[in-house]
Amino acid sequence: MISGGRPQGAGQPLSYPITPASTFEHGSDRIYSRADATEAWDALEALLGGLERAEGLAFSSGMAAAGAVFDQLRVGAHVLLPDDCYHGVAHTAQDWATKGRLTFDRLPVDDTAAWVERMPRADLIWLESPTNPLLTVADLDMLCRAERKDGSLLAVDNTFLTPLRQQPLDLGADLTMQSTTKFIGGHSDLLGGSLATRDERLAERLRGSRTLLGTSPGALEVFLTLRGARTLALRLDAAETNAIALAERLADHAAVDTVRYPGIGSMISFDALDGDRAAATCDAIRVVRHATSLGGVESTMERRAGTPGQEHLPAGLIRLSVGCEALEDLWADLNEALSS
């Protein structure tokens, strides 16, 4: 793994500077910071790309990164999306469809045959695995090798597992996307996004979209993301160990119906007996924070059907992002809240 630290040099600081500059003195490639990276931004992209042996691109948010991919589509393009995926991406597809810019179909991510049948007619195949929030797993190996139309793009939102647990580019995906707001940043203190691709021309086009749309990352966010990313492996190991144990204990709890945990990563979704009990559990927790978002050192959970636009989900579904706290503190908190 790339260290994310500065190259060696006598008297040099070990970390990169925060450079709050919009413009640079003429005479080099750096001109204006909507387009041109600072030293820390370059280092972040080298780290993100290095994790996938690809070109990494940093954005101002996960949605900005996803938007750059949608921005590659010509008017009238056809998109395939999982029926369960991050709702912001689904809303983007719906919004663009309403404006006549594209058509789309949503398919269960684990219905491989349905995807394989439709992929030859799609311009963008947008996958997310495991899905948010139902944690359904796609057969990425099969889907990345399936027949597609020339010039189509296959992108995988890899936010939940990160490149440390899943490498879709190795399987044949054109692009991976992450909300670096989550595990890569890891401390719930920034918004960021990233794309990685091994296709240099595609990387150039995506960079062009970022410059035109102005979705470049800010100086403080670049610094914080770089700092967070340097401990990703440690945090993910700790959180995953906690998640494996909690998934087992939750499955045995009398107030829990179903536990959805794919056996990897640190996201768990579980169904409390009904919507009211799920809401009461979320109100009662103290160590786990009752908040949206995920991937931080602190555990967070929420009843997803209570989120606007997510009312179709099971009423009792709680999405839990397991953090790095002591396991027994987490379990005591969850057990008490579920039993209250």
Please check whether residue 320 is in contact with residue 328, taking contact to mean a CB–CB distance below 8 angstroms.
no
Q: Between residues 180 and 281, which has the closer beta carbon with respect to ligand PLP?
A: 180
Report the number of secondary-structure helices (H) and strands (E) in the chain.
Answer: 12, 12
Minimum CB separation of residue 126 from ligand PLP in Å reads: 10
Q: Between residues 225 and 242, which has the closer beta carbon with respect to ligand PLP?
A: 225
Residues within the interface to ligand PLP (CB under 6 A): 61-63, 86, 88, 128, 132, 157, 159, 179, 181, 191, 193, 293
Distance CA 78, CA 98 (A): 13
Q: Between residues 62 and 163, which has the closer beta carbon with respect to ligand PLP?
A: 62
Minimum CB separation of residue 254 from ligand PLP in Å reads: 30
Please check whether residue 206 is in contact with residue 56, taking contact to mean a CB–CB distance below 8 angstroms.
no
Of the candidates 147, 109, 144, 141, the one whose C-alpha atom is nearest the C-alpha of residue 128 is: 109
For residue 307, what are the contacts with CB-CB under 8 A and spacing of at least 6? 87, 292
Q: Between residues 132 and 176, which has the closer beta carbon with respect to ligand PLP?
A: 132
Minimum CB separation of residue 19 from ligand PLP in Å reads: 22
Q: What is the number of the residue whose Cβ is closest to ligand PLP?
A: 62
Please check whether residue 207 is in contact with residue 225, taking contact to mean a CB–CB distance below 8 angstroms.
no
Element (H, E) at 281: helix 275-284
Minimum CB separation of residue 149 from ligand PLP in Å reads: 25
Q: Between residues 33 and 158, which has the closer beta carbon with respect to ligand PLP?
A: 158
Minimum CB separation of residue 83 from ligand PLP in Å reads: 15
Crossing angle for the helix pair 327-339 and 275-284, nearest 10 degrees?
130
Minimum CB separation of residue 153 from ligand PLP in Å reads: 17
Q: Between residues 30 and 240, which has the closer beta carbon with respect to ligand PLP?
A: 240
- Count the alpha carbons within 13 Å of 175 in the hemisphere toward its beta carbon: 27
Minimum CB separation of residue 77 from ligand PLP in Å reads: 20
Please check whether residue 120 is in contact with residue 70, taking contact to mean a CB–CB distance below 8 angstroms.
no
Of the candidates 165, 167, 166, 222, the one whose C-alpha atom is nearest the C-alpha of residue 191 is: 222
Q: Between residues 128 and 302, which has the closer beta carbon with respect to ligand PLP?
A: 128
